């Protein structure tokens, strides 16, 4: 989840349907607000002598874990939108046939990939489909 965006697959089997915005909102709440509240309550409650600090922070932490599981189930059946590259650095192309009849393929890089071949950490190559 590099950019935090998701798209629904046609066979989504999630417990509840959430939009990207809703999912990101709830995820931020569970990852940031709940832990911050627990730490703040424990710190302030300890200084001010409040009763039941352990019970309140324990229940709040348990609620956060429970809601995290529900959120994870809500995304069951979804896949990241960034799973498919938007552009390729090159593609595999059929360049001929050998004497024994096996196809000969070559990788054709884009101009940008050719210029930055040695400095680019990852090259994304589009595969070849024989049936096409």
Q: What is the pLDDT of residues 100-125, one digit of tens each?
A: 888 888 888 888 888 887 888 888 88
Q: What span, in angstroms and rounded, lies between the C-alpha atoms of 108 and 99?
A: 22
SS3 content of the chain, % helix, strand, coil (to 5): 45, 15, 40
Mean pLDDT of 18-33: 87
Say yes or no to pLDDT of 42 above 80. yes
pTM of the model: 0.50
Q: How far is CA 19 from CA 5, 23, 56, 64, 108, in A?
A: 10, 6, 31, 20, 39
Which pLDDT score, from 0 to 100, does residue 126 have?
Answer: 81
Q: What span, in angstroms and rounded, lies between the C-alpha atoms of 111 and 113?
A: 5
Domain locations along the chain? 6-83, 90-126
Query: For a pLDDT cut of 90, what percent of the chain falls above it?
Result: 30
Which pLDDT score, from 0 to 100, does residue 101 have?
Answer: 84
Q: What span, in angstroms and rounded, lies between the C-alpha atoms of 67 and 82?
A: 26
Q: What span, in angstroms and rounded, lies between the C-alpha atoms of 5 and 22?
A: 11
Q: What span, in angstroms and rounded, lies between the C-alpha atoms of 123 and 108?
A: 12
- Compute the half-sphere exposure of residue 12: CA atoms within 13 Å on the CB side of its CA: 17
Q: How far is CA 51 from CA 10, 40, 60, 89, in A?
A: 51, 15, 15, 62
């Amino acid at each position: 989840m590099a950019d935090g965006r998701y798209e629904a697959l046609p066979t989504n089997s999630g417990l509840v349907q959430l939009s990207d915005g809703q999912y990101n909102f709830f995820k931020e709440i569970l990852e940031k607000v709940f832990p911050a509240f627990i730490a703040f309550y424990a710190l302030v409650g300890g200084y001010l002598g409040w009763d039941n600090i352990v019970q309140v922070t324990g229940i709040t932490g348990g609620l956060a874990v429970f809601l995290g599981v529900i959120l994870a189930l809500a995304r069951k059946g979804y896949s990241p939108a960034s799973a498919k590259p938007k552009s390729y650095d090159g593609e595999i192309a059929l360049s001929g046939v050998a004497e024994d009849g096996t196809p000969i393929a070559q990788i054709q890089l884009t101009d940008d990939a050719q210029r930055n071949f040695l400095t680019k950490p990852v090259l994304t190559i589009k595969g070849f489909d024989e049936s096409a």
